[in-house]
Amino acid sequence: MNSKITRALPELVENGIITDGIAQNIEAHYKKTNASDSGRLFTIFGILGATLVGLGIILIMAHNWDHFSRVTKVILAFLPMLVGQAVLGFSIVKNKSVTWKEAATVFLFLSVGVCIATVSQVYHISGDLESFLLAWVSLCIPLMYLTKSTSAIILHLIFITYYSFEASSGPLSSAPIVYLVLFAIPIPRYIQLLKSKVKSPAVIAFHWLFPLSLMLAFPIFIGRSYFTGLLVYMLLYSGLFYNIGKHSYFKNASLWQNGYLVLGALGTVSILFVTSFRMAWNILPLSGSFGESEITICLILLALIGFVLYQNSKIKTFKKNDLFQYIFLIFTIVFFIGAVNNVIATLFINILIFVLGIMLIKIGADKVRFGMLNCGMFIVALLIACRFYDTNISFALRGLFFLLIGGGFFAANYIMLKQQNTKK
């Protein structure tokens, strides 16, 4: 598309549609854009190449491993890491391109893991996967700030999330605190990138990876108390994620650029639908569900939510008609009611889902936003479909309901499309 535009510029200048100066500015803009895209692509392929080289070295070493002496094995264990350090040091001293630094960082990160695993195997050092991952990630922490590498942050988040999986299957003890500390380490670098207002693909990836890591790691905080998990996850989704996604930083961002908003909304709706069934409140009683870890994480989440809401109130992004922003407060009240009377809690949740769907339909209709309108109608339709499992309604009546809902979808979209065309 860019090449077609630049080829058409001489003709536009000749016909007097644009001036020669405007044509030069347009051509310079697209040259700059193409150079930026090429640099990003080169960086991605550089990182991929470094990963494949590292994996290739591991496979070659593994194939001939039994034929090496112990000294040779130790040398080979440290060699990739030393090579990675040398290349990274060279790229920093010579101020090489971002591609050099990112590729060298990825190679060194993987080499550290290979070195730890190899030395442990050669000297028969006992240990589990949890301690191995913790040692690996801890040794690579300086890479995030020494090279200012985005790849190091991505790898860090992936491996600490993996660490949380392993920690959740064993004795929890200090694992939640360790995870929180590891999670907090790259946040200053993340905030620095946000303040620079550079919306690169890596920064957009962070908007998804940071909340995803928290989502997947939260079982280590709630242990096996699934009942408590409903409240914790609602605080996380509706209270923290969704309100972060409503910050002014994401004002002009599309949905795929705002992982906090998407994950917060989807998570909130998911928890609501799970608790719309009466059996969800019969999983565990409230007594004994809140341990030290659960209380700690709830207090941390409430503190973070309070801070985010305060920031949003200062920049006036907190809207009273956006139920998603404070649905966690309503759910918290219903949660404690459900510990005493699950029938009332289930009724409240169903009403809440219905109101949420109607709210989305109204906003979508008022602002002529097809996506929001259809989301609201889908929520109402899904609520009705879920209630079919709780009642003894005949199949004929169920079929009639679905016909009406389907007709409503078509009618609402047709009417709004007609209104949109009328305004044009």
| Integer Rg of the chain from CA | 27
What digits encode the pLDDT tens for the residues 277-305?
888 887 655 444 566 667 778 888 888 88
- Per-residue confidence at 382, pLDDT binned at 50, 70, 90? confident
| The token pair that represents 122 in the structure block | 């050669």
Mean pLDDT over the full length of the chain: 78
pLDDT at 281: 81
| The token pair that represents 199 in the structure block | 């919306």
d(CA 8, CA 1): 11
pLDDT at 197: 61
Q: Which long-range contacts does 204-209 make (Cβ < 8 Å, 24+ apart)?
A: 204/256, 204/257, 205/150, 205/154, 206/150, 206/153, 206/154, 207/257, 207/258, 207/259, 207/260, 208/259, 208/263, 209/154, 209/157, 209/158, 209/259
What digits encode the pLDDT tens for the residues 208-254?
999 999 999 988 887 656 677 888 899 999 999 999 998 888 888 88
Q: Classify burial at 149, counting beta carbons within 10 Å of its beta carbon; exposed 0-12, middle 13-18, buried 19 or more.
A: buried
Angle between helices 342-366 and 370-387 (to 10 degrees): 150
Q: Tell me if the pTM is above 0.75.
A: yes
CB–CB of 243/317 below 8 Å? no
Residue 268: name the closest of 344, 323, 334, 307 by CA.
323
Position with higher pLDDT, 312 vs 424: 312
- Per-residue confidence at 96, pLDDT binned at 50, 70, 90? confident
Find the mean pLDDT for residues 334-345.
85
pLDDT at 181: 92
